C-alpha cells in the first residue's frame, strides 16, 4: 500500500507549527510552539517579534515533528506550507524554510491557504466527511460562510464587513481585563454569567455578510461608562451576553445560508469554533433542522500544521505545486490562488 506523507509547516501568526500527515487524514505528528506568553505583555501580536520567534523555533519544531512521526526528511513525499493569508513577516519565515527543505530534498512544494487548512481540520477529526458541505469559518482574522464544493473548490457566500468574530472576542475580553488572546478566557468567564443580563445590539446586515464592530463597541462603551460612573459591571454576565449574541448571529446566518443552498452536511472551522456558546447554538440548530454538523476537535480549532498537511494532500492530488518563486501573501480570499504575491 502506498501512502502520501506530507511534512506541513505553519507560521502565519503566533504559533510555529509542524506536522506529518498521512493521506490527508491521519496525524503522524503534530507539534505547536506558541508565542502567546511573549505577545501577552503587549496585549496583541507584535509582528516583528513574531517573525523573530518563528525564525528561532522553526527548525526545532520541524525536527520534533519528523522525530515524533519516526521519519527522516528524505522519507516525506512533499513539503507543505501556509503561504496566505497572515502576517507577512511570520509567513515569510515558513515559506522560505519550506522552500529550502524542498530544494535540498528535491521534493514537491505545496502552498496552502490558511483558511482552507482550518476547514481541513475537520477531515482529521471526521474520517467520513467529504465535500460538498457548507462551512462556517470563524477565526481571529476572518468570518465567512463558505461552500466547500470540492476539496480545492470553494465559494464564499458571505463574510464580515469589518471585524472578524475572533477579533471582537479579543477586544471585548481586553476591556473586561482579560489577557490576550482573550477569546477562550471570555468563554470561561461567561460560563458563570447570565446571557440575558445585557441587551447587546444585533447588526442588521443583508444577505450572509456579518458585522461585529458595533457589538464590540457596545461592550467597550458599557465597560467605560461603568468605570466613569463608578458602577460595578457584572463581568461574567456581560461576557455571557456577548458570547450568546455572537453565537446567535453566526448560527442564524449560517442556517439561513444552509436553507438556501440546501446543504445537509455542515461544518465549522477556525479558532472561534472552540467557543462553547457557538458550539451549542450550532448543534441545537442542526438538531432542530435535521442537518448533520461536523465540529473540529478542540485541539485542532486553533492554528496548527496538521490542518495544513490535511489540506495539502488534496492540493497535491489536484496538481498544485509551488516553486522557488513562491511568496508570502498577507491578504488572499480562500477561493483564489496567488503564489507570486
Ligand atoms: O483560528 P485562530 O487560531 O487564528 C487565526 O487563524 O486567526 O483563531 C484565533 C482566535 C482568537 O481571536 C481567539 O481569541 C479565538 O480564536 N478563540 C476563541 C476561543 N478560543 C479561541 N474565541 C471565543 N471562544 C473561544 N473558546
The answer to whether the 5-120+303-317 and 127-299 domains have the same CATH topology is: yes
Q: How far is CA 316 from CA 83, 103, 120, 260, in A?
A: 15, 17, 14, 32
Q: Which three cell numbers stand for residue 203?
A: 447588526
Whether residue 139 has its Cβ less than 6 Å from ligand 1: yes
- CA of 45 relative to ligand 1 center, distance in Å: 13
Whether residue 270 has its Cβ less than 6 Å from ligand 1: yes
Instruction: Give the CA radius of gyration of the chain.
Output: 20
Report the nearest atom of ligand 1 relative to the CA of 181. Answer: 14
pLDDT at 73: 98
Pocket test for ligand 1, best of 302, 332, 334 (most atoms within 8 A of CB): 302
pLDDT at 7: 99
Question: Largest Cα–Cα distance of the chain, in whole Å?
Answer: 70
H/E stretch holding 116: helix 114-125
Closest C-alpha to ligand 1, atom 7? 140
Nearest alpha carbon to residue 189 among 277, 111, 112, 261: 277
Closest C-alpha to ligand 1, atom 19? 184
As averages over each run of 10 residues, the pLDDT of the chain (341 residues) reads 94 98 98 96 94 98 98 98 98 98 98 98 97 97 97 98 96 94 96 96 95 96 95 96 98 98 98 98 98 97 98 98 98 95 88
Whether residue 163 has its Cβ less than 6 Å from ligand 1: no
Local structure of 292: helix, strand or coil: strand
What is the per-residue DSSP string for 78-90?
Answer: EEEEEEESS-HHH
Whether residue 170 has its Cβ less than 6 Å from ligand 1: yes
Whether residue 85 has its Cβ less than 6 Å from ligand 1: no
- CA of 140 relative to ligand 1 center, distance in Å: 5
Whether residue 184 has its Cβ less than 6 Å from ligand 1: yes
pLDDT at 280: 98
Pocket test for ligand 1, best of 271, 299, 301, 330 (most atoms within 8 A of CB): 271
Domain covering 127-299, topology: Nucleotidyltransferase; domain 5 (3.30.420)
Domains in the chain: boundaries = 5-120+303-317, 127-299
Contact at 8 Å (CB) between 134 and 257? Answer: yes
Report the nearest atom of ligand 1 relative to the CA of 188. Answer: 26
Q: How far apart are CA 163 and CA 305, in angstroms?
A: 25
- What is the pTM assigned to this prediction? 0.97
Report the nearest atom of ligand 1 relative to the CA of 167. Answer: 12
Q: How far apart are CA 268 and CA 279, in angstroms?
A: 9
pLDDT at 2: 86
Domain covering 5-120+303-317, topology: Nucleotidyltransferase; domain 5 (3.30.420)
- With cell 435535521, the residue in question is 290
pLDDT at 1: 72
Amino acid at each position: 500500500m502506498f501512502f502520501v506523507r506530507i511534512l506541513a509547516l505553519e507560521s502565519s501568526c503566533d504559533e510555529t507549527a509542524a506536522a506529518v500527515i498521512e493521506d490527508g487524514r491521519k496525524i503522524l505528528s503534530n507539534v505547536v510552539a506558541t508565542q502567546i506568553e511573549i505577545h501577552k505583555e503587549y496585549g496583541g501580536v507584535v509582528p516583528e517579534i513574531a517573525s523573530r520567534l518563528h525564525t528561532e523555533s522553526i527548525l526545532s519544531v520541524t525536527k520534533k515533528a519528523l522525530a515524533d512521526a519516526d521519519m527522516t526528511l528524505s522519507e516525506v513525499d512533499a513539503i507543505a506550507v501556509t503561504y496566505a493569508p497572515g502576517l507577512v513577516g511570520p509567513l515569510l519565515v515558513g515559506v522560505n524554510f519550506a522552500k529550502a527543505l524542498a530544494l535540498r530534498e528535491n521534493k514537491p512544494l505545496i502552498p496552502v491557504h490558511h483558511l482552507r487548512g482550518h476547514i481541513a481540520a475537520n477531515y482529521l477529526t471526521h474520517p467520513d466527511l467529504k465535500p460538498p458541505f457548507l462551512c462556517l469559518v470563524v477565526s481571529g482574522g476572518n468570518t465567512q460562510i463558505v461552500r466547500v464544493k470540492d476539496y480545492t473548490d470553494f465559494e464564499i457566500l458571505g463574510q464580515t464587513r469589518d471585524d472578524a468574530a475572533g477579533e471582537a472576542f479579543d477586544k471585548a475580553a481586553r476591556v473586561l481585563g482579560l489577557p490576550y488572546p482573550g477569546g477562550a478566557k471570555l468563554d470561561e468567564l461567561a460560563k458563570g454569567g447570565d446571557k440575558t443580563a445585557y441587551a447587546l445590539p444585533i447588526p442588521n446586515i443583508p444577505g450572509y455578510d456579518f458585522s461585529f464592530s458595533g457589538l464590540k463597541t457596545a461592550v467597550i462603551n458599557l465597560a467605560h461608562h461603568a468605570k466613569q460612573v463608578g458602577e460595578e459591571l457584572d463581568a461574567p454576565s456581560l461576557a455571557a451576553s456577548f458570547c450568546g449574541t455572537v453565537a446567535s448571529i453566526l448560527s442564524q446566518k449560517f442556517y439561513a445560508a444552509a436553507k438556501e443552498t440546501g446543504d445537509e452536511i455542515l461544518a465549522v472551522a477556525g479558532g472561534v469554533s472552540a467557543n462553547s456558546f457557538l458550539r451549542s447554538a450550532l448543534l441545537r440548530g442542526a438538531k432542530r433542522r435535521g442537518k448533520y454538523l461536523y465540529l473540529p476537535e478542540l485541539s485542532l480549532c486553533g492554528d496548527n500544521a496538521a490542518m495544513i498537511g490535511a489540506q495539502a494532500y488534496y492540493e497535491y492530488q489536484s496538481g498544485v505545486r509551488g516553486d522557488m518563486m513562491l511568496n508570502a501573501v498577507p491578504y488572499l480570499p480562500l477561493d483564489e490562488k496567488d503564489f507570486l504575491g
